Amino acid sequence: MFTALHISPLDYKGQKKIKLSFAGRDSEAFHKVNCIEGFAYTKTYRCYYIPYTKEAYSQLKNLYPNIIIEKPTLTGAEATGNVSPQNTGIQEPKTLENNNCADISVALLKHEEVKTESHNTDIQTKPIIKAWFTNRFYIAVTLQYNAAHVAFLKTLKKAEWNKEKRRWIFSAITSNIEKFKQYFNIEIEDKRSEFGNNLTKDNDSTPTDGIVLMPYTDDKTKLFVILPYNVTCISLIKKVKNRYYSKAHSCWVIDNDKEIVKQTVEFFTEAGYKVYKQAVGCEMELYKPTKNKIQLVEAECLNIFPESFRPVAGEYFNKLLDKRYSWNTIKTYVRYFSNFAKYFEYKSLKDIQQKEIELYINMLVKKGISESAQKQIICTIRFYYIEVLRISPQYYRLTQPKKSETLPTVLAFSEIIQIFSKIDNLKHKCMVYMGYATGLRISEVVAVKLSELDFERKTIMVRAAKGKKDRTVMLSDKLALLLRDYISKYEPKRWLFEGQLDEQYSDRSLQSLFKRAFDSTDIKKHVTFHTLRHSFATHLLEAGTDLRIIQELLGHANIQTTVRYTHVSVRDIKNIQSPLDKLGI
């Protein structure tokens, strides 16, 4: 029993081809017919095709004796308008009954007659046409196909046919609007109040001292680059990765990607040009590159100090930066240092004695700070005197708190299922599942990049985790299936989980959504997202996994940190019978 293969004629770049219809590269048909010489794919018509020759058709017939001739693909001029199906003259699909190559001239060449019939449109008839502003810069047009009308639309500046939405678009400049109204004698549906009152004038968006970045019609992944026409600017834009020139819009196009935009801005600003940006509904303004991570963290840290004390705080911040502390550690140290300086009214900290510092810490202990917070405050103060002021450590031997040995909360399997069942969103589900399936910290989950997933080796690379250490964790089969579905639907670019404006997803947002899911259950334990990590380690231990392997998966530097999970594991405890159970009561 041979599966039928659907084919139809295709006019591609002025040459006749045979279009093949099947379900993509994973289909049985693809693996059969890709050996035919001339087999190729066209992005324009989104289909595969083979040459329109007897040899190619004969090979196709040998592979698929049961071939169905479909309706011809509208191409060339037909693809630029709305042709009524009643006027195409297309016959019902039929199956070829023999292997005679002459069938190709009988069945496939019918599209030439169809093309002639479909173009018998009375030019004098008033067209069915509609035009409206899609945004402040472009006008969309839908009309019944007419060769003369299509030829006129092509004369307008930046006019092109949108195959997906089956309509024409052209630039909303004054000259285009006047020509259009004069030719068709119709009004354009005016929604300019939604985008701003001013339309672009001819060439008014190209300043003489720089370039302009503009939105690319409806495609948010691209940007127009309008630049002065000279040798210097052309050579600069050609340095940008993945750039291309759009003949339809008479300007350059780049990817709307942070790195690409940054690269473009650097090339032109270094050459002495200004860079402007123009969003929909807004006036053109000078482009101001966003601050990098260091500038943002520095501004956030120093703004909590009074102006007079910022030189001291800046010296403290720079020393933390030089020591390559993590961003979270830097923020914590600066916050505690701010409280310390504020307590002593921002006076010269060099004059403060150790006894005064001990009284300060004692005051905080009486307020009820935790042991870990007390330890961090001591480290913060010692860092200033020892690392910044270069004072010998022996002068600041502050009493360290005794570490309490608390045990982590662990969820049962039924409780984890109960929490997971409350999450419906696919992205949220993937993030929460990953926390339990891999034991990653919440900051590590949101920091995973697409490039760090390896579906073949079933691993996830965790980069620069706590302590700036890399490690590898396993990628479970169920999580892999879920992630493939998520990536296909959401199409993340850089980070696996992206928030607004393609930025890394916020760990606060992840903590909030997990809390909402937990609050909707009837579990009485104190649970946070980190509880999933504790449950991951404990459940592995109870399943017989070696403690050293668990240590590597969790990224613990000291095995004693991992040993504490043996105190909450019920693998051995549940097998012990309580003396109460032996009483005959």
Q: Dump pLDDT digits (tens) for 336-352.
A: 999 999 999 998 888 88
**Using CA atoms, how far apart are residues 210 and 284, in angstroms rounded to an integer?**
12
Own/partner pairs, 500-504, CB within 8 angstroms, 24+ separation:
502/258, 504/446, 504/447
Instruction: Please indicate whether residue 428 or residue 123 has the higher confidence score (pLDDT).
Output: 428
- Which token pair is 210? 């720089």
Average pLDDT (100-113) is 48
Query: What share of the chain has pLDDT > 70, as a percent?
Result: 80
Q: Tokens at residue 64, please?
A: 């698929």
Q: Which of 428, 457, 458 is nearest to 445 (CA)?
A: 428
- Return d(Cα 114, Cα 104) in angstroms, integer: 16
pLDDT attached to residue 25: 60
Q: Given 19, 167, 441, 539, which residue is catalytic?
A: 441
DSSP codes of every residue in 59-86: HHHHH-SSEEE-PPPP-TTGGGSB--GG
Residues 6+ apart with CB under 8 A from 402: 371
At residue 98 the predicted structure's pLDDT band, cuts being 50, 70 and 90, is: very low
Q: Distance between the two ends of the chain, CA-based, in angstroms?
A: 74
Q: Which of 331, 375, 382, 530 is catalytic?
A: 530
Is residue 229 part of the annotated active site? The answer reads no
Q: Which residue has the higher pLDDT, 412 or 21?
A: 412
**Is 548 in the active site?**
no
pLDDT score at 288: 64
Instruction: Give the CA distances from residue 475 to residues 435, 437, 455, 462, 513, in Å, rounded to whole numbers and listed in that order.
Output: 11, 8, 8, 12, 23
Q: Is 556 a catalytic residue?
A: yes
pLDDT tens-digit readout, 529-571: 999 999 999 999 998 899 999 999 999 988 888 888 888 777 7
Q: What is the pLDDT of residues 269-304, one digit of tens each?
A: 878 888 887 765 555 667 666 556 677 778 888 889
Asked about 441 being catalytic, the answer comes back as yes
- The per-residue pLDDT for 455 is 93
Tell me: the pLDDT tens digits for 508-540?
889 999 999 999 999 999 999 999 999 999 999
Per the annotation, the verdict on 111 as an active-site residue is no
pLDDT (tens digit per residue) in 230-263:
778 888 888 888 888 887 677 888 888 877 888 8
284 DSSP assignment = -
Residue from 466, 471, 494, 564 carrying the catalytic annotation? 466
Which residue is catalytic, options 45, 273, 486, 565?
565
pLDDT-derived band of residue 448, with 50, 70 and 90 as boundaries?
very high
Per annotation, catalytic residue among 111, 533, 534, 539 = 533
